[in-house]
Amino acid sequence: MIKLIPMTENEFKAYLDEDIARYAETNVQAGYWDESDALEKSRQVHEQLLPEGLATKNQHLFSIIDDSSGQYLGMIWLEIKPEGRNPSAFIYDFVINKEFRGQGIGKQALLAAENVLRSLGVKTISLHVFNDNTAAKKLYEKVGFEITSYNMRKKL
């Protein structure tokens, strides 16, 4: 079993540095950003989304922990959008450490996140996944996510 624990400030600082680099690289690989300014663009996106760090309103970053051993398995970042009759959430980031992938931990973590969100009155949850991330797409479909749109591109 796993549990979601709010990130500590030290965990957040380490995560943020890693995620800024990873997000920049992913956007370069996807063809969205040029490598020369990708790191700066990634920093700007993170500053816009998390201007107050962990204290940013409606942003919830959790460490995914093995309940029996206390071992850190990964993380999940949820934004809650409480407006309207149907409050929603968005998964900004979800990472299971490589050595724990393929063991059902991702599924457990998503189900735990759903429970947290339900307890906060959230009615729907959405996310974005890059097309080349086939393992993630399979996991999301397995737990009930449905495709709502496609972005397409043709290289000339």
Per residue in 55-75, pLDDT (tens digit) is 999 999 999 999 999 999 999
Give the model's pLDDT for residue 59: 96
Gap between the Cα atoms of 61 and 92, Å rounded: 10
Considering only residues 153 and 6, tell me which one the structure prediction assigns the higher pLDDT: 6
- Strand ranges (DSSP E) for the chain? 2-6, 59-66, 72-81, 88-96, 124-127
Q: Which domains does the chain have, with CATH numbers?
A: 2-142 (3.40.630.30)
Band (83; pLDDT cuts 50, 70, 90): confident
Q: Residue 142: pLDDT above 90?
A: yes
pLDDT of residue 149: 87
